[in-house]
Structures are given as C-alpha cells and as structure tokens.
Amino acid sequence: MQNLSFIILYVDDVAASARFYEKLFGLKSEAGSDNFSSLALGNGLTVGLWRRDQARPTATSMPGAVELCFPVPDLAALEAAHAAVVEIGAAILQPTTEMDFGTTFTAADPDGHRLRVFHPNGA
C-alpha cells in the first residue's frame, strides 16, 4: 500500500466545500451527490468531500486533526498563495512564519481543515 491516490475530507456542506476547493485548485469538482463530490488534482491525487453525517463508518475525527500541505518553489509563490487563500475566504490560522523546515503559513477551509503552504529551507 504505497500509492496514496485519494484523500477524503468530512464536511458539513458538500456544495460549499466543493466551491471552496474549486477556487483553491482552479478545478471543477466531479459531480457526485448532495453527500459527496471530488476533485482530481491531475497529479494522481483526488480529494473527496463527504458529508460528515453521511460517512460510514461514522466519522469521529474533528477538523484540524491533519493538514494538507502544499510546497511552493519560492517566497513569491508563498505570498501569492497567501493572497489567494484569503481571497477565497480561508481563515488564516498561522501568519507567514519562519519555522525549522522553512517559511510557512496555515489556513483553514470552511470546515476547519488545515491547509499548510510552505517554502522548504534550502529549496
């Protein structure tokens, strides 16, 4: 099991989350139902959005338990990503900060799922 190709986020409102991630990724979600939608990122990874109260088995983790991480090639790209997530309505949980691994900021989607953008040290 070394090929991770699908990540599911449990959300309260599939349509609202689909709109958020369509703007974030610049992609159109693949229509599913009121309970599920997905976005194929083109790199072999798909992000699924499953309505929390319809997930089986019952979803017990809370938003913020994991982070989706997005590396960027330079600080200009980091600044552009920050502006983009603010523009689409993401809450900034951590402003741009220097950390041991590089420069980063953390935002949250409408359900509180954490999105980390970072420029690694030495890149």
pTM metric for this prediction: 0.89
- Predicted confidence at residue 123, as pLDDT, reads 67
Residue 83 φ/ψ region, left for φ over 0, alpha for ψ in the -120 to 50 degree band, beta for the rest: alpha
Distance CA(43)–CA(14), nearest Å, equals: 23
Residue 38 has a CB neighbour count (10 Å cut-off) of 19
Model confidence band, residue 66 (pLDDT cutoffs 50, 70, 90): confident
Phi then psi for residue 18, to 5 deg, are -60, -45
- Predicted confidence at residue 13, as pLDDT, reads 95
CATH number of 67-120: 3.10.180.10
In the chain, ranges of CATH 3.30.720.120 domains: 6-54
- Report in angstroms the alpha-carbon separations of 49 from 1, 54, 95, 97: 22, 11, 26, 29
For the cut 90, the answer to whether the pLDDT of residue 64 exceeds it is: no
CATH number of 6-54: 3.30.720.120
In the chain, ranges of CATH 3.10.180.10 domains: 67-120
